[in-house]
């Protein structure tokens, strides 16, 4: 029996779809504090000419501004794709309490694949991590996006 996705993950997937429609790699992110959405973003690297404008990075910046702090220790980030090493390191520095992601990223992931940032002894903060929420939908978005470019 399939369970409905939590609303922040549903929104992250919707943002990922919007990113894909705008020509960006389809990734979306939502940051919540309790049940309140603090920030949301989608990939914006091509449109902003900023290689660091991954959905997670844009959402972290917006959440810090909205909350007036660089520490997001009582917040959860919901992402449609496993964060890369850059984004995983930013999640740690921002002290996010939890990470929820949809699809794993065997090629570019930095949490359960690749450098596994949170497993490194130099990582000072490790959020609680749960993956696989909406994995099929996220994977289908990514497959479709990249197939249309081949």
84 marked as part of a ligand binding site:
yes
Cβ–Cβ < 8 Å for 8, 62: no
Q: Would the annotation count 54 as a binding residue?
A: yes
Residue-level pLDDT at 4? 86
Q: What is the pLDDT of residues 95-120, one digit of tens each?
A: 999 999 999 999 999 999 999 999 99
Is 49 marked as a binding-site residue?
Answer: no
52-88 pLDDT, tens digit per residue, is: 999 999 999 999 999 999 999 999 999 999 999 999 9
pTM: 0.96
Chain segment 1-19, per-residue pLDDT in tens: 567 899 999 999 999 999 9
Q: What domains sit in the chain, N to C, each tagged with a CATH number?
A: 7-142 (3.40.140.10)
- Which residues are tagged catalytic? 56
pLDDT attached to residue 2: 62
Distances (CA, A) of 63 to 55, 116, 120: 12, 24, 26
Put the strands of the sheet holding 128-130 in their side by side order. Answer: 36-42, 28-33, 76-81, 98-103, 128-130
């Amino acid at each position: 029996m399939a369970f409905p996705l939590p609303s922040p993950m549903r929104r992250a997937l919707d943002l990922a779809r919007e990113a894909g429609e705008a020509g960006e790699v389809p990734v979306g992110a939502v940051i919540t504090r309790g049940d309140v959405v603090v920030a949301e973003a989608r990939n914006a690297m091509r449109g902003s000419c900023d290689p660091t404008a991954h959905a997670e990075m844009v959402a972290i910046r917006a959440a810090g501004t909205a909350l007036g702090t660089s520490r997001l220790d009582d917040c959860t980030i919901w992402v449609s794709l496993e964060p890369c090493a850059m984004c995983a390191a930013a999640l740690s520095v921002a002290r996010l309490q939890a990470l929820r992601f949809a699809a794993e990223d065997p090629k570019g992931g930095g949490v359960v694949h690749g450098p596994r940032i949170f497993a490194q002894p130099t990582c000072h903060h490790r959020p609680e991590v749960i993956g696989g929420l909406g994995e099929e939908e996220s994977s289908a978005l990514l497959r479709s996006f990249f197939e249309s470019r081949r």
